[in-house]
């Protein structure tokens, strides 16, 4: 199966942490991250890290019905947050004139929004939905019918929550956001 991947804010953070041990120490103090980056650097091998660090920030794909642009936060920055109620101008993104779909993430909130003829889609988050549902979220884009079908799937989180508690015991918000107590 063919898939496309782009670099997100956590890949950028992980790369900085790999190259700067002082930065890694600072990250552990951020309550939203806990020891996740430190753990990832211990678990991933050099080939895995090279793959993650080499991902493009923006990627355009030509589909039979039009071009789509993939990014994490926005076409400008991986750490931008575009929520359903966020006002922004498509012109600010400086996208090619023939882009039909903009697929992005970062907010962990499902969204479909049309602005100036551009279909902006956020499929949500498989691991940490921010809408409080505790479900894995994803989407199917049918480029032929130009329809987006949002999906929500329950998944077994007990093992994940137990691992988070073991790795970052002093950061309860990391497992509470998944519904753990």
What pLDDT is stored for residue 172 in this prediction? Answer: 83
173: phi then psi, degrees, rounded to nearest 5: -60, -25
Which residues make beta-bridge pairs with 101?
68, 119
CATH number of 62-76+89-153: 3.60.21.10
How is the chain split into domains, by residue range? 1-57, 62-76+89-153
CA distance 139 to 50: 28
State residue 121's pLDDT score. 97
1-56: pLDDT as tens digits: 788 999 999 999 999 999 999 999 888 877 678 888 999 999 999 999 999 999 99
Prediction pTM value? 0.88
Mean pLDDT on 164-177:
82
SS3 12: helix
pLDDT for the residue 31? 66
pLDDT in tens, 108-152: 999 999 988 899 999 999 877 788 788 899 999 999 999 999 999
Is the pLDDT higher at 179 or at 136? 136
Which residues contact residue 36 at a Cβ distance below 8 angstroms, ignoring those fewer than 6 apart?
A: 167, 168, 174
């Amino acid at each position: 199966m063919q898939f496309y991947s782009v670099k997100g804010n956590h890949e950028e953070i992980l790369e900085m942490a790999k190259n700067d041990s002082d930065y890694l120490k600072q990250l552990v103090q951020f309550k939203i991250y806990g020891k996740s980056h430190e753990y990832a650097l211990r678990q991933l091998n050099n080939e895995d890290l090279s793959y993650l660090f080499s991902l493009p920030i923006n990627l355009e794909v030509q589909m039979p019905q039009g071009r789509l642009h993939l990014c994490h936060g926005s076409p400008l920055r991986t750490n931008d947050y575009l929520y359903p109620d966020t006002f922004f101008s498509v012109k600010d993104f400086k996208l090619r004139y023939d882009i039909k779909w903009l697929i992005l993430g970062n907010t962990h909130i499902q969204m479909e929004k049309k602005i100036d003829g551009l279909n902006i889609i956020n499929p949500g988050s498989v691991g940490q939905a921010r809408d409080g549902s505790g479900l894995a979220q994803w989407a199917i884009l049918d480029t032929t019918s130009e329809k987006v079908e949002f999906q929500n799937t329950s998944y077994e989180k007990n093992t994940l929550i137990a691992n988070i508690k073991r790795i970052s015991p002093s950061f309860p918000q990391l497992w509470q956001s998944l519904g753990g107590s």
